[in-house]
Amino acid sequence: MSEETVGNIQNAFVIFAAFYLASLLISIVLKKASKRFDTAASEVFRLLSNSQRAVLILIGSIIAIDQLGFDVSALVAGLGLSGFALGFALKDAISNLIAGIMIVIYKPFEIGSEVVISGSEGTVVDINLRYITLKTADELCLVPNSLFLNNKLTLKNVNKEDS
pLDDT (tens, 9 = 90+) of the chain, 163 residues, equals 788 888 889 999 999 999 999 999 999 998 888 888 766 667 777 778 888 999 999 999 999 999 998 899 998 898 888 988 988 888 888 888 888 888 887 888 888 999 988 778 899 998 887 888 999 888 998 989 888 878 888 888 766 554 4
> Rounded to whole angstroms, what are the CA distances from 149 to 47, 53, 92, 93?
21, 29, 12, 14
pLDDT at 15: 95
Residue 40: per-residue pLDDT: 62
Distance separating alpha carbons of residues 104 and 43, to the nearest angstrom? 10
- Please return the burial class of 149, using the count of CB atoms within 10 Å of its CB with bins 0-12, 13-18 and 19+: middle
The span from the CA of 151 to the CA of 115, in Å, is: 12
- The angle subtended at Cα 90 by Cα 86 and Cα 96, nearest 5°, is 150
Residue type, 74: A
Domains of the chain (ranges; CATH) run: 3-89 (1.10.287), 109-156 (2.30.30.60)
CA 28 distance to own-chain centroid: 17
- Whole-number Å distance between alpha carbons of 115 and 42: 24
